[in-house]
A and B are shown apart, each in its own frame.
Chain A
Amino acid sequence: MAAFSAVKIPPPQFTTVRSSSQRPGSSPAHFAHSPSAFNSISFGSAKSVRSRPLFAVSSDVVSSDKTKPASSSSSNPAVTREVALELYEDMVLGRAFEDMCAQMYYRGKMFGFVHLYNGQEAVSTGFIKLLNQSDKVVSTYRDHVHALSKGVPSREVMAELFGKATGCCRGQGGSMHMFSAAHNVLGGFAFIGEGIPVATGAAFSAKYHHEVLKQSKPEGLDVTLAFFGDGTCNNGQFFECLNMAQLWKLPIIFVVENNLWAIGMSHLRATSDPEIWKKGPAFGMPGVHVDGMDVLKVREVAQEAIARARRGEGPTLVECETYRFRGHSLADPDELRKPDEKAHYAARDPIIALKKYIIEHGLASESELKSIDKKIDDVVEDAVEFADSSPLPPRTQLLENVFADPKGFGIGPDGKYRCEDPLFTQGTAQV
Chain B
Amino acid sequence: MASLQMAALLSAPSTPVPSDRVRLGALRLSASSSSTARNGGALVVRSEAKVSGGGASARGLSLITHAVAEKAAAASSADSKPGHELLLFEALREGLDEEMERDPTVCVMGEDVGHYGGSYKVTKGLATKYGDLRVLDTPIAENSFTGMGIGSAMTGLRPVVEGMNMGFLLLAYNQISNNCGMLHYTSGGQFKIPIVIRGPGGVGRQLGAEHSQRLESYFQSIPGLQMVACSTPYNAKGLMKAAIRSENPVVLFEHVLLYNLKERIPDEEYVLSLEEAEMVRPGEHVTILTYSRMRYHVMQAAKTLVNKGYDPEVIDIRSLKPFDLYTIGNSIKKTHRVLIVEECMRTGGIGASLRSAIIDNFWDYLDAPILCLSSQDVPTPYAGTLENWTVVQPEQIVAAVEQLCK
Q: How far is the CB of A173 from chain B (nearest CB, A)?
A: 4
* CB-based nearest A residue for B159: A201
Residues of chain B lying within 8 A (CB to CB) of residue A172: 185-188
Binding stretch for chain A, among B143-151, B256-264, B280-288: B143-151
B148 touches A410 (CB 8 A): no
Flag if A197 contacts B326 (CB, 8 Å).
no
Report whether B151 and A407 are in contact in the complex, using a CB–CB cutoff of 8 Å: no
What distance in Å separates the Cβ of A226 from its nearest Cβ neighbour in chain B? 10
| Interface pair B151/A413, CB less than 8 Å apart | no
Stretch in B15-23, B50-58, B73-81, B199-207 with 4+ CB within 8 Å of A: B50-58
**Please, which residue of chain A has its CB at the minimum distance from the CB of B149?**
A201
Nearest CB on B from A170, distance (A): 4
Are the CB atoms of A410 and B155 closer together than 8 Å?
no
Q: A404-B193, A408-B322, A413-B362 are in contact. List 5 more A-B contacts (CB 8 A).
A: A194-B147, A209-B156, A212-B134, A411-B276, A415-B54
Residues facing B in A390-431 (CB within 8 A) are 400-405, 407-420, 431
Residues of B within 8 A of A247 (CB): 139
Taking the closest CB of chain B, its distance from the CB of A430, in whole angstroms, is: 8
**Residues of A with C-beta under 8 A to B153:** 201
- Interchain CB contact (< 8 A) of B184 among A243, A402, A415: A402
Which residues of chain A in 138-193 are interfacial with respect to chain B, using CB atoms and an 8 Å cutoff?
A: 138, 167-174, 177, 179-181, 186-191
Checking B148, B247, B274, B323 against A201 with a beta-carbon cut-off of 8 angstroms, the contacting residue is B148
B186 touches A212 (CB 8 A): no
B-binding residues in A (CB < 8 A): 136, 138, 167-174, 177, 179-181, 186-191, 194, 196-209, 211-213, 236-237, 240-241, 243-244, 247, 400-405, 407-420, 431
How far is B276's CA from A420's CA once the two chains are assembled, in angstroms? 16
Among listed B24-32, B174-182, B342-350, B398-406, interface-contacting one: B174-182
Contacts of A410 in B (CB 8 A): 275, 319, 321-325
- With A205-B157, A244-B141: A417-B51 Cβ-Cβ less than 8 Å: yes
Q: A189, A236, A413: which has the most chain B beta carbons within 10 Å?
A: A413
Contact between chains at A197 and B143 (CB < 8 Å): yes
B383–chain A nearest beta-carbon distance, Å: 34
Q: Is the CB of B151 within 8 A of A201?
A: yes
- Say whether, besides A199-B151, A201-B149, A413-B329, A179 and B275 are in contact (CB < 8 Å): no
Identify which of A201, A402, A412 gathers the most chain B CB atoms within 10 Å of its CB: A201
**Chain A residues within 8 Å of B184, by CB:** 401-404
A240 touches B188 (CB 8 A): no
> Which 10 residue pairs of A and B lie closest in terms of their CB atoms, listed nearest first?
A201-B151, A197-B147, A410-B322, A170-B188, A179-B187, A169-B188, A240-B144, A198-B151, A240-B141, A401-B189
| Interfacial chain B residues near A138, Cβ < 8 Å | 151
Does chain A have a CB within 8 A of B334?
no
Q: Would you list 23 pairs from A and B whose C-beta atoms are within 8 A, ordered by A residue?
A: A138-B151, A169-B186, A179-B187, A179-B191, A200-B144, A201-B151, A204-B148, A236-B143, A237-B144, A240-B139, A243-B139, A244-B141, A244-B144, A402-B223, A402-B224, A404-B194, A404-B247, A404-B248, A405-B247, A410-B319, A410-B324, A412-B325, A415-B55
Could you tell me which B residues sit within 8 Å of A by CB distance?
49, 51, 53-56, 59, 104-105, 107, 131, 133-134, 138-139, 141, 143-157, 174-175, 178-179, 183-194, 223-224, 226, 246-248, 274-276, 319, 321-327, 329, 361-362
Indicate if the CB atoms of A198 and B147 lie closer than 8 Å. yes
Chain B residues positioned under 8 Å from A173 (CB to CB): 186-188
- Shortest Cβ distance from residue A201 to the other chain B in the assembled complex, whole angstroms: 2
CA distance A28 to B290 in the complex (A): 65
Chain B hits for A200, CB < 8 A: 144, 147-148, 151
A38 CB to closest chain B CB (Å) equals: 30
Task: State in angstroms the CA–CA spacing of A414 and B330 once bound together.
Answer: 9
Cα separation A417 to B184 with both chains bound (whole Å)? 20
Whether the Cβ atoms of A411 and B145 lie closer than 8 Å is no
B190 proximity list for chain A (CB < 8 A): 168-169, 179-181
Cβ-defined contact, A208 with B133, below 8 A: yes
- A169 vs B184: C-alpha distance in the bound complex, in angstroms? 10
Determine how close the nearest CB of chain B comes to the CB of A140; give it in whole angstroms: 13
B325, A411: Cβ atoms closer than 8 Å? yes
Q: Is the CB of A186 within 8 A of B133?
A: no
User: In the bound complex, do residue A416 and residue B322 qualify as a contact, i.e. CB atoms below 8 Å apart?
Assistant: no
The listed residue (A205, A213, A243, A415) touching B56 by CB distance below 8 A is A415
Closest chain A residue, CB of each to CB of B61: A415
Decide: A402 near B107, CB < 8 A? Known: A179-B190, A410-B275, A415-B55. Answer: no
Bound complex: CA A156 to CA B100 (Å): 38
A197 touching B175, Cβ below 8 Å:
yes
Nearest neighbor of B193 in chain A, beta-carbon distance:
A404
* Contacting residue for B139 out of A189, A244, A403, CB 8 A: A244
B148 touches A243 (CB 8 A): no
Contacts of A180 in B (CB 8 A): 190
B188 adjacent to A179 (CB under 8 Å) = yes
Q: Which residues of B contact A186 (CB under 8 A)?
A: 151, 154-155, 191
In the assembled complex, the CB of A409 is this many whole angstroms from the nearest CB of chain B, namely 6
| A402 neighbours in B (Cβ, 8 Å) | 184-185, 223-224
Question: Nearest residue in B to A403 (C-beta to C-beta)?
Answer: B248
Best-surrounded residue of B49, B186, B188, B190 (most CB of chain A within 10 A): B188
**Residue among A204, A206, A213, A400 with most chain B CB within 10 A:** A204
Residues of B near A415 (CB, < 8 A) are: 54-56, 59, 326
| Contact across chains for B143 and A207 when beta carbons are under 8 A apart | no
A189, B178: Cβ atoms closer than 8 Å? yes
- Given the interface contacts A194-B174, A237-B143, A410-B319, does A405 sit within 8 Å of B248 by beta carbon? yes
Q: Closest approach, in angstroms, between the C-beta of A141 and any C-beta of chain B?
A: 12
In the complex, the chain B residue whose C-beta lies closest to that of A242 is B144
Beyond A169-B190, A179-B188, A244-B144, whether A201 also contacts B139 by CB under 8 A is: no
Residue of B105, B146, B188, B275 touching A197 (CB-CB under 8 A): B146
Q: Which of A211, A247, A410, A420 has the most CB of B within 10 A?
A: A410
Cα distance A191–B104 when bound, in Å? 32
A244: which B residues are within 8 A, CB to CB? 138-139, 141, 144-145, 148
